[in-house]
Chain A
């Protein structure tokens, strides 16, 4: 049963709300006042500034590097290069193949070669520019297809991973066959808070790092290896993080800043400019995908064949997992009895690619949904009907052989989305600013064509393929000021804007009946919370907080029972009181806490998963989430300009633990999907990034973003705490495909590449089929 549509404004919430309420963010007031400390706002007496030296070439041998001119610049405190490293020289999420500083050869445009510390960022920048580096430029391998057979550009070779999926009869044929080639350009996470942090050398020879990141413990482990320090001496604290979307899962300035801090024995602050940021983090994998769909004349899928090549750029990052996800979910959320998928992630001299919201499922969703529309046309069937006819459901098998045991309300998502109200038709007197072209005033009403498109997507939640995914939480309950019970929740969960800090409070309040809940800063003093990615923190860190609260509650019940000479099983915790089941006697929380604080640390692990075998078969995933999207667009076909008029969605969310937060995550995810559809692309030319700035890497503005109409399917996910599914990624997976499908309908053009550029529409040959 779909959740009711949300009103567009919210009234104030009650005093002590619990799960399922639109509790307000505890950090929002400080953020609105400009008092919330982000990682680039940090400051310490005596600090110096770090700057990075980066390669202007995508592929070159370093013939010589002379740092003396930089050392001579007044105000410089240190210059370090690969020659100065004393620990591990490489790092990486899955394989440690990424050099801290380039080691004799640079493999991508912007690869770091050196770092400088100085007392003013302008000094650091000038010193960095003074380092004399001579390169022997090498030919770049920029075509991922060619890279597969080209000479290796790295000792580990040019193939990151090949996933081979063979399900049922891979050679099965259908009566109706459609095929196509598709291309996805390189999207960037473009989080607003620049890569930044402050590294402070400690007395014990270690280092404290305050940094914006997604996974404190994995950062720490890589840093410790490169500093040749035991883990305990590398202490990370999460600083205010201005968005992430996957772009902070890999390291950026962390090792460099810590190295400089240890060498100079001073606090070192590093802040990337926006330009450097475009070089300083991984991007979404560009991809080329070929699909061939087979179906019966009645529209039942028979076989899905796919061959795709993902360009992972110069270093591994998380390419091996991205291609695995892409391959597992290649057909989209539909049941097919047979499948043949070959997914390749390849090394090139292009910028390194890794995690971005959607993690492989975005690329395949675009292509697979285009295929479903092609199939519908070949069958003479309504595209929504075709999707309903093949929609996955619980107990179906994925093409990896895994039986879906969790909630899978795909058909419900499709029909709910289809039934959402359509926008008003374009009024003849609509202001020109509201037409495609916006402020440029390029179109009038008569120039516009409207189109509607539909797409459905899905992916896994949390980590997969046998990885032991877990999160840790420490909860402490004690008497606080005024004899009020006070709960403190401590996790290493990276709050990057998604709202976990709010949820942590809600869980503690709900589980312990306590109003005062403090969420401590995330740091490495408590166990790992895993990554803020894969839409997992609500489930994993939420689960850990729940477990820790349960453990605290156990002790409370024991204490109360002891007090009343009863057994703990005779007591419950209700509305902040420890009462007997018959309600006859009770002990207040405050009284139960007089004996002293209660503290518990617990880990939440999700159910185990398996690796994929040589045929891509295995129970590799834990929970799945689905979403349907419908887009309405207005197009000016003569100029190829597009305005998205409305984006409607029905998303499978399990249970809304905070409706306001869910709303915001869905709207934000859709904005990124719209961006990929019509405007966002890192232009790479022979390995060189051509548009490392917000002038030319375009994010949707307030004039570009359509209203989002959303409805939720709340079928509780029994696998997960509170039945809630993560909501961050599904909005980004098929919203892009829906927009492009709508543009196709408006223009009659096949449009096989994203982002769709004005040229693709305005300069296309006239459509074959009769479309206005």
Chain B
């Protein structure tokens, strides 16, 4: 059999061992399109849709554990309270059909610079958990995604889940595209304000080979925010935050947009995301 239908993680890992060059397949929204166009020809496939351990999400003390098989629709509907920025990002992925099938594990595995969930995960300091025969290992997101469509996943490994901290403050996600729906992002930003930890985190997407954090902008604004009152910040500081976020991006010019525009877009949406998080 060239297409395996495992129901458990063990079965999936076993199938992968049996067919080492098999393609891991969840929602299919990236891989099957490639096959349709003749760019990829799978010698074998391990279907992950029914693997029990990859489904759903749960709270685990101070963390949220998201199964790799969680679809974007599930994220959009079920995580609005816990992870509003991720839910907002999920809502912008492709079309309803795509959101029903596409998974967060797939988004991570494809590691496209334009992956919509990735800047949010970056802002949340997510950890990716990889399962392999005989165990598992965890990697911070920044170590998991190594380049354009490249990850640190090794042969025989399956993304099992991604873990993010449970934070209580406002989280926003903004995505710029040339159409009001179903767009690959030209630039996107996730802004997470944590009043408890007195930090601001800003993840940027589509403006670098991988999702990036606007570290300088984060450090700057954390010092400018009146954490006890609001929290709030003067408009000049919010504007400066936007500028610093833009400076943290290294966008390219391609058929979708220009580097200059992407920088401008980051400047605007980072500032707006922050503004919406403040009183």
Residues of chain A whose beta carbon lies under 8 Å from any beta carbon of chain B: 122, 125-126, 129, 273, 275, 436-444, 447, 638-641, 643, 678-679, 683, 685, 690-691, 695-696, 698, 700-704, 757-759, 762-763
Contact A440-B261, Cβ < 8 Å, known A273-B37, A685-B255 = no
Besides A122-B38, A696-B184, A696-B255, 17 other A-B contacts (C-beta < 8 A): A126-B38, A273-B36, A439-B175, A440-B174, A442-B175, A639-B264, A639-B269, A640-B261, A683-B255, A690-B255, A698-B183, A701-B182, A758-B261, A759-B257, A762-B261, A762-B265, A763-B264
Closest Cβ of chain A: how far from B109's Cβ, in Å?
19
B257 touches A442 (CB 8 A): no
* A53–chain B nearest beta-carbon distance, Å: 13
B178 close to A679 (CB less than 8 A): yes
A52 nearest CB across to chain B (Å)? 13
Known A-B contacts A639-B269, A759-B261, A763-B261; the reply to A438 vs B255 at CB < 8 A is: no
B263 to nearest A CB, angstroms? 10
For the complex, give the distance between the alpha carbons of A122 and B181 in Å.
32
Within 8 A of A (CB), among B158-204: 172-186, 188
| Chain A residues in 8 Å Cβ range of B173 | 441
Q: Can you list 20 contacts pairing A with B, beta carbon distance less than 8 Å?
A: A273-B36, A273-B37, A437-B176, A439-B180, A440-B185, A444-B276, A638-B268, A639-B265, A643-B180, A698-B178, A698-B183, A701-B182, A702-B181, A703-B179, A757-B257, A758-B186, A758-B257, A759-B257, A759-B258, A763-B264
List 9 tightest A-B contacts by C-beta distance, closest first: A438-B180, A690-B255, A440-B175, A703-B181, A703-B180, A759-B261, A683-B255, A701-B181, A698-B179
Bound-state CA distance A441–B181 (Å) is 10
A129 B38 Cβ-Cβ under 8 A: yes
Do the beta carbons of A439 and B91 come within 8 Å of each other? yes
CA distance A690 to B91 in the complex (A): 27
Q: How large is the interface on B (under 10, 10 to 19, 20 to 34, 35 or more residues)?
A: 35 or more
A703–B94 alpha-carbon span in the complex (Å): 13
How many pairs of residues, A versus B, come closer than 8 Å at their CB atoms? 101
The distance from the CB of B214 to the nearest CB of chain A, in whole angstroms, is 17
Residues of B within 8 A of A643 (CB): 180
A442 touches B174 (CB 8 A): yes
Q: Which B residues are in CB contact (< 8 Å) with A436?
A: 180
Q: Knowing A758-B257, A759-B257, A762-B261, say if A440 contacts B178 (CB, 8 Å).
A: no
Q: Is B176's CB under 8 angstroms from A758's CB?
A: yes
A701 to B92, CA, bound (A): 14
Which B residue's beta carbon lies closest to that of A640?
A: B261
Chain B residues near A441 (CB, 8 Å)?
Answer: 88, 92, 172-175
Compute how far the CA of A638 lies from the CA of B264 in the bound complex, rounded to whole angstroms.
8
Indicate if the CB atoms of B179 and A759 lie closer than 8 Å. no
Report how far A679 CA is from B181 CA in the complex, Å: 12
Residue numbers in A under 8 Å from B255 (CB-CB): 683, 685, 690-691, 696
Q: Which residues of B contact A757 (CB under 8 A)?
A: 178, 257
CA distance A640 to B36 in the complex (A): 35
Please name all residues of chain B whose beta carbon is closer than 8 Å to the beta carbon of A638 when the two chains form the complex: 268
A103 to chain B, nearest CB (A): 27
Q: Closest Cβ of chain B: how far from A353's Cβ, in Å?
A: 19
* Chain B, residue nearest A704 (CB): B180
B176 touches A440 (CB 8 A): yes
Chain B residues within 8 Å of A683, by CB: 255
In the complex, what distance in Å separates the CA atom of A440 from the CA atom of B272?
A: 13
A678 and B177 alpha carbons, distance in the complex (Å): 12
B265 in contact with A440 (CB, 8 Å): no
- Cα(A592)–Cα(B279), bound, Å: 85
**Distance in angstroms between the alpha carbons of A59 and B180 in the assembled complex:** 37
Query: Within 8 Å CB of B179, what residues of A?
Result: 438, 679, 698, 700-701, 703-704
Contact of A444 among B92, B183, B272 (CB under 8 A): B272
A440 touches B183 (CB 8 A): yes
Known contacts: A273-B36, A641-B176, A759-B261. The answer to whether A439 contacts B181 by CB under 8 A is: yes
Chain B residues, CB < 8 A from A696: 184, 255-256
A459 to chain B, nearest CB (A): 28
B171 CB to nearest chain A CB (Å): 12
Which chain A residue lies CB-closest to B92?
Answer: A439
Q: Which of B88, B177, B178 has the most chain A CB within a 10 Å cutoff?
A: B178
CA distance A759 to B264 in the complex (A): 9
**Chain A residue at minimal CB-CB distance from B258:** A759
Task: State the CA gap A443–B271 with chains docked (Å).
Answer: 11
Tell me the residues in window 22-53 of chain B with beta carbons closer than 8 Å to chain A beta carbons: 36-38
Chain B residues within 8 Å of A679, by CB: 178-179
Q: Is B260 an interface residue (CB 8 A)?
A: yes
* Chain A residues positioned under 8 Å from B269 (CB to CB): 442, 639
**In the complex, residue of chain A having the shortest beta-carbon distance to the beta carbon of B256:** A696
Measured in the bound complex, the distance between the Cα atoms of B262 and A757 in whole Å is 12
Cβ-defined contact, B182 with A440, below 8 A: no
CB distance from B138 to the nearest CB of A (A): 31
In the assembled complex, the Cα of A701 lies from the Cα of B188 at a distance in Å of 21
Give Cα A442 to B275, complex, Å: 12
Q: How far is the CA of A126 from the CA of B185 in the complex (A)?
A: 33
Chain B residue nearest in CB terms to A760: B261
Q: Which of B102-156 contact A (CB under 8 A)?
A: none
Write the nearest CB–CB distance from B205 to chain A, whole angstroms.
12
A436 to B180, CA, bound (A): 7
Best-surrounded residue of B88, B91, B177, B254 (most CB of chain A within 10 A) = B177
Q: Which residues of B contact A439 (CB under 8 A)?
A: 91-92, 175, 180-181
Write out the residue numbers on chain A whose beta carbons fall within 8 Å of the beta carbon of B268. 442, 638-639, 762
Give Cα A223 to B30, complex, Å.
Answer: 39
Q: How far is the CA of A758 from the CA of B178 in the complex (A)?
A: 7
Chain A residues near B184 (CB, 8 Å)? 695-696
B112 CB to closest chain A CB (Å) equals: 12
Give A199 Cβ to nearest chain B Cβ, in Å: 23
Contacts of B188 in A (CB 8 A): 440
Within 8 Å CB of B180, what residues of A?
436-440, 643, 701, 703-704
